[in-house]
Copies of this chain bind each other. A is one copy, B any other.
Amino acid sequence: MVRIAVVPGDGIGREVIPVAEAVLASLHPDWDFFDVEVGYARWQRTKTACTDDDISALKSADAILFGAVTTPPDPCYDSVILRIRQELDLYANLRPVKGEGFDIMVVRENSEGLYSGIEWRERDRACTVRVVSVAGSTRIGRYASRLAAARGVPLTIGNKANVLKSDILFREICSAEASRAGVSYEARYIDALALDILMHPDRYHVIVTTNIFGDILSDVAGYLVGGLGMLPSANIGDQLALFEPVHGSAPDIAGQGIANPIAAVRSAAMLLDHLGYAGEAERIEEAIQSLLHSGIKTPDLGGEATTEEFGAALLLAL
């Protein structure tokens, strides 16, 4: 039986994830959905945002549907989502951004780079090591190259090899993987690339880049679709994958029942696609489009539907 770990998290995560879960359950009534509570609320109760048992529970699932977690400005609080990405080795962070005339997939390396955790403090400075490994670059380069091959598009390699010797390695390995997969590729400096996806989004298709560059680049690309509000994402490992909306827990609107669940539902669609149900993923997107066209939207889009009303209408449309 397929087992889905459901992690609502904090804030609007608790409001949008039930809608996404309901969509999955309506398509697959036989799947087992089980909740895992991590995040700030849990931390306030227990001083642990995420226990080893939570990690084990997540590992026992076939896929994870994740909401959002609030990160308090407490230096002792370690980011829950970073811990999960590390412990589950979810090395490929996929961030699709689609709009009129463009369809970009940012494939962000999700396990090393500046997120290595190798940091120290000296008397008069603080250091963080950016790690680019052969193994890490190979698996992300291969993942992105295969995706580009499957889509029949070229690969763009975002890097800063004119400054960082570690990116000469990244660029070399990704180029080699692209050649192996039979896709053409182009290496671009990340600063120029971040500007050019705004100027010419139609020129980009699959972009592979290191961890923090992907973090920034995917937010910048969000501008092309009016912000992060409706964007889903996937964190993929060899064993397991986690799907989460790009938006956060949004404490400012949490508790009002007006959060837009589209990013969460699209994340559920990516989950379905990942598990082999590409047709269902497409039907979900069509249902979302039909609702938007008939004016059923949450207030952020100028509509009047509550989160629950949108969810109910979506289930009906499906």
Contact = CB atoms under 8 A, between A and B. Distances in A.
A128 B211 CA distance: 14
A192 to B, nearest CB: 6
Interface string A191-205: 110110011000000
Given A216-B190, A219-B191, A164 B227 contact: no
A190 B218 CA distance: 12
28 contacts: A114-B160, A114-B164, A115-B163, A119-B165, A121-B165, A124-B133, A124-B135, A125-B169, A126-B131, A126-B133, A126-B165, A126-B166, A126-B169, A127-B132, A128-B166, A129-B130, A163-B212, A190-B216, A191-B215, A191-B216, A194-B194, A194-B216, A194-B219, A194-B220, A195-B228, A198-B220, A198-B223, A220-B220
Interface of A: 71, 75, 79, 82, 114-115, 119, 121, 124-136, 160, 162-166, 168-169, 190-192, 194-195, 198-199, 212-213, 215-216, 218-220, 222-223, 227-228
Contacts of A130: 114, 127-130
A134 B122 CA distance: 10
A124 B166 CA distance: 11
Centre residue among A135, A166, A199 by max chain B CB count within 10 A? A166
Nearest to A165: B119
Contacts of A162: 71, 79
A194 B218 CA distance: 10
A134 B123 CA distance: 9
- What are the nearest 5 A-B pairs in CB distance? A125-B133, A126-B166, A191-B219, A195-B219, A126-B169
A163 B133 contact: no
A134 B128 contact: no
A14 to B, nearest CB: 21
